[in-house]
Amino acid sequence: MLNVSGLSKIQGGEVLYADMTFQINAGEKVGLVGPNGAGKTSLIRIITTITKADAGVVLFRGEPLNSSHPAHIGYMPEERGLYKGMKVGEQIVYLARLKGLSKKDGNTQLDYWLEKFDIPTWRDKKIEELSKGMQQKVQFITTIIHRPKLLILDEPFSGLDPINANLIRDEIDELHKNGTTILFSTHRMEQVEQICQNIVLINKGKNVLDGTVEDVKSQFKENRFKVNFKGSLPANITEHVTILTQDETSIDVQLRDAAHANNFLKYLLAHGTTITAFNETLPTLNEIFIKIVSNTSNE
């Protein structure tokens, strides 16, 4: 769906990117993450043809990026771009027509989405009359009304209450099931874990990590295990593992080598400990983010 190769961009004497390279396959849900100032928004602006790179190539569905491609891309920016004085219905149809829909099709889609979101009475309300969360729902509709092949979402849940956040999340899942590729930019690593299959982490103008969420978490595992038990633990347990946390029924430990996990389990059983659960604990994406960004920022 999207192939970014050797992308470089200098702006105001500052290097925004230096040989940025990554690929997003059709049908994937990809989290684009990075610290503030890493260049996520600038990268999205290049993908959506708002700005151009100084060097490198961006391929959209195998073709060099050109002015015809935004009609197949939906972009919901973090800074919302609705016209405050326009009515909701007029706003949605206007932006639908900019994406290539006829006035008739735009109105058909307007009716569909207002009914689906249970907001038909909003049609004649002005944008400025709506709360931030209500505007967010309208912005989402304008982003996906033309059924884009690639959907780019920049902090889409900002300002939404849990009920409406779940509503938008369900629609994202439905679009994905119907073939839409999702590029999801956020600072919330727990949302990436919940929503995305893959991750691209950028820092200081470079792609410093990418892959499936599962593979990335496995890559950074630290031989940590959580043991749930009944009874008592061996008195000399600290000779075998490092204890991270402990309470009356569970213990988090770090082994010197993951290959010793079975031996540690046998050791506990041999000393009369009743084990109710024994699971490896993988690092969270938030922990990996902090580790990688801290390391690359110090280079």
Q: What is the pLDDT of residues 57-75, one digit of tens each?
A: 889 988 888 888 888 999 9
Q: What mean pLDDT do residues 221-248 have?
A: 87
pLDDT, position 299: 52
Task: Output the pLDDT for position 298.
Answer: 54
Determine phi and psi for 103, rounding to 5 degrees.
Answer: -60, -40
Q: How confident is the model at residue 294 (pLDDT cuts 50, 70, 90)?
A: confident
For the stretch 70-118, pLDDT in tens is: 889 999 887 777 888 889 999 999 999 988 889 999 899 999 999 988 8
Instruction: Name the DSSP letter for residue 78.
Output: S
pLDDT score at 57: 87
**Residue 296's pLDDT band (cuts 50, 70, 90):** low
Mean predicted confidence (pLDDT) in 209-238: 87
8 Å CB contact between 24 and 210: no
Determine the pLDDT at residue 112.
92
Give the pLDDT score at 110: 92
Cα distance between residue 154 and residue 202, in whole Å:
15
Task: Compute CA distances 186 → 33, 42, 57, 74, 241, whole Å.
Answer: 6, 14, 24, 16, 36
pLDDT digits (tens, 9 = 90+) for 164-204: 888 888 999 999 999 999 999 888 888 888 888 899 988 87
pLDDT per position as a tens digit, 113-134: 999 888 888 889 998 898 888 8
SS3 75: strand
Per residue in 24-35, pLDDT tens? 999 999 999 887
- For residue 297, the model assigns a pLDDT of 55
What does the pLDDT average to over 21-26?
A: 89
pLDDT at 224 over 60: yes
257 or 292: whose pLDDT is higher? 292
Q: Mean per-residue pLDDT for 216-223?
A: 87
* pLDDT, tens digit (0-9, with 9 covering 90-100), for 283-292: 888 888 888 8
Q: What span, in angstroms and rounded, lies between the C-alpha atoms of 202 and 184?
A: 13
Q: Give the span between the Cα atoms of 74 and 89, in whole angstroms.
A: 19
